[in-house]
Amino acid sequence: MNPDFNELLERMRTFNRERDWERFHNPKDLVLALVGEVGELAECYEWLGPAELSHVHADSVKKEKIEEEIADVCLYAMMLADTAGIDMLAAIERKLEKNRRKYPVEKSRGRHTNPLEGSKAVKR
């Protein structure tokens, strides 16, 4: 089963409502919790060298931890958007379109900077 976004959003709302946690969900505290979860995700990769990075996802225990932290990051982002009255999927669609215009393929392929802003791009 692959639930759609609105179903996940409703399950998240129900989960929080059943625990009476909604009263703790204000933008500031949700952002701080989100940052904390991003930090926990970063710890999964911290101090790994190139050799370790190349196979970290092959380790089932490490991969499960990474999956859990990514899920936490996504859930807090969903809660923040929901609390702020932001349609997250619509916001993502708008941002993808904005990025498509900001980074045209013919000027951006193989570069990690914005060629339209005159940055010196590094090709890898």
Whether the model pTM is above 0.75? yes
Q: 49-108, pLDDT tens digit by residue?
A: 999 999 999 999 999 999 999 999 999 999 999 999 999 999 999 999 999 999 999 988
Task: Return d(Cα 37, Cα 14) in angstroms, integer.
Answer: 21
Pure H helices in 19-124 = 27-43, 50-55, 60-83, 88-102, 105-108
- Higher model confidence: residue 33 or residue 116? 33
- Report domain 5-86's class: mainly alpha
**Beta-carbon contacts of residue 98 (< 8 Å; ≥ 6 apart):** none
Instruction: Compute and round to an integer the Cα radius of gyration of the chain.
Output: 18
3-state SS assignment for residue 123:
strand
Residue labelled with tokens 């609390």: 83
Q: Where are the domains of the chain?
A: 5-86, 87-124
